[in-house]
Every structure is written in C-alpha cells, then in structure tokens.
Amino acid sequence: MRSLCLDHLSLYDVTALELIEVAAELGCDAVSLFVTPTPLGPYRDLTTDKAAKAEVLAALRDTGLAVGIVEPFMLEPHTDWDLLERSAALAAELNGTVNALCFDEESERLRASFGRLAEIARTAGARMAIEGFTLSTVRTPADALAMADTVGQEIGLTIDTLHIIRTGGSWADLATLPQDRIFHVQINDGPREAPSDLRAEATVARLPPGQGEFDIASFIPLVPSSALLAVEAPFRAPTGMTPLERARTMVEATRALMA
C-alpha cells in the first residue's frame, strides 16, 4: 500500500508534537505541519521557539515520520516576509514542501509576491507547491498551475478533493495536469451540494473519505504514484471523541479506499 500522510488540518486543534504522536500511533508515513500560530489551533512558532522546534525534530526522528507540506505560507496584500523567510528555512530543515496559498486580489502584486516566495524557498533549499483553494484568488488546479508557471516548472501543485468539487471541477481534471508537477494530494469527502458556509466546511466540517458523495474511491487510482497522498478531513466529531479516535476514523477510512 502506498504511503499516507496525516495533514495537520485533520486535527486542527492539536499541536505539531501531538499530531506527530497520533500519526505514529496510527502507522502513518508522514505528517504535514502548521509551524507558526494561526487562529485555527494551538500552534507554537517553531521558527522562533527553540524548545518547541527541538521537541518536534526529536519526535520526527524517533518516529521516522517524514514531513509533507509545511504551512502557513499565505500571500496577502501585506505579507510578513520575515515570517515567510523563517518558515521556508524551517521547511528546508524538515525536508518539507512550502505550500503557498494566495489571498491578494491585486494580480500584479500577487505575481510579484509569488515570485518572491519562490526565490525565498529556492534560497532556503525547500521545495515549493501552490494550492488551488476555493476561497482564495487562485482557486482551481489550472489556476494554480498557471501561477506556478510564472516562476518555473520546479514549482509543484497541492491538490485537494474538496476544492476540485467546490470550484466546479471533476476528477478528469487531474489527468490534464502534468503528473510530475503534482506533489501533494489531500483526500476528504463531503456532500455534492455545497453548504452555505464554505469557510467552515473547508476548515472544520469536511467528511472522512468514503462518507460523502465525492466518489473518492474513483479518485484515488488517478493520483500519480510520485505524489504524496494525504488525509485532510477535519470533521465535526461527537463530543468526547479524542484526537486519536478522530484521526483513526479518517486514516482507516482512507486506507479502506486505498486498498
């Protein structure tokens, strides 16, 4: 069976260290990490907190887990470039991939910012990808590829099943992309009809693979073998369900479809 990554958003309410512990318990091969604070969860700033960073590095070493994408790298009208430089350096140290999301409506500035981030990643020695995200200014995989190509073919893509569906795409879209440019693929499920609150769905209210109407079983065989397959399916769990139990639900559902 191919490798499986547990993306941090799946357990958005735990620290990076706790995520690593859960992923190791479930026999995952990799994790993707939030390395600086966001409103979503209790993330320590691993770019400045030396003790927290040392704990994470030790946990990765002890568990043998690899690192997939590293977040957040958000390109906004007022981007914190010092933060992104520190984060890119950490991504390189973790052997992870810088994952860019675009939230700037000014197209020329966004292209310039994307080029600047690509240069930061290149200087740091980190691989870089861009993710098409329903609520961003780069929404579809085709949009993401077009932006990546403004820099060069070394920039890859992060593909998310939710964002394909919510932007009106289909699984056939995957075949139109250069297969070697697809670095990271996030698996999750949901209803065909979009909910009223797309932001809540994207962050905390997805469904484990196979429990919705996206037909994830038909999607997984289309994912190129060179891409890292990840479960990113934060769902509204029953009260009292532990992070390990929630992650087991997502991971086992994904593995059932992978098999």
Say whether 154 sits in a helix, a strand or coil.
coil
Neighbours of 105 (CB within 10 A): 10
Q: Is the pLDDT of residue 66 over 90?
A: yes
The distance of Cα 31 from the centroid of its chain, to the nearest Å, equals: 10
Distances (CA, A) of 248 to 13, 252, 256: 15, 6, 12
Distances (CA, A) of 54 to 44, 98, 102, 246: 12, 20, 30, 27
Residue type at 215 in one-letter notation: D
Q: Report the C-alpha gap between 74 and 36 in whole angstroms.
A: 12
- Collect all residues with Cβ–Cβ distance below 8 Å to 245 and sequence separation of at least 6: 237
1: pLDDT confidence band, cut at 50, 70 and 90? confident
Q: Give the chain's domains with CATH numbers.
A: 4-258 (3.20.20.150)
The distance of Cα 123 from the centroid of its chain, to the nearest Å, equals: 22
Mean pLDDT calculated for residue range 32-56: 96
pLDDT given for residue 251 in this prediction: 98
Q: Whole-prediction pTM value?
A: 0.96
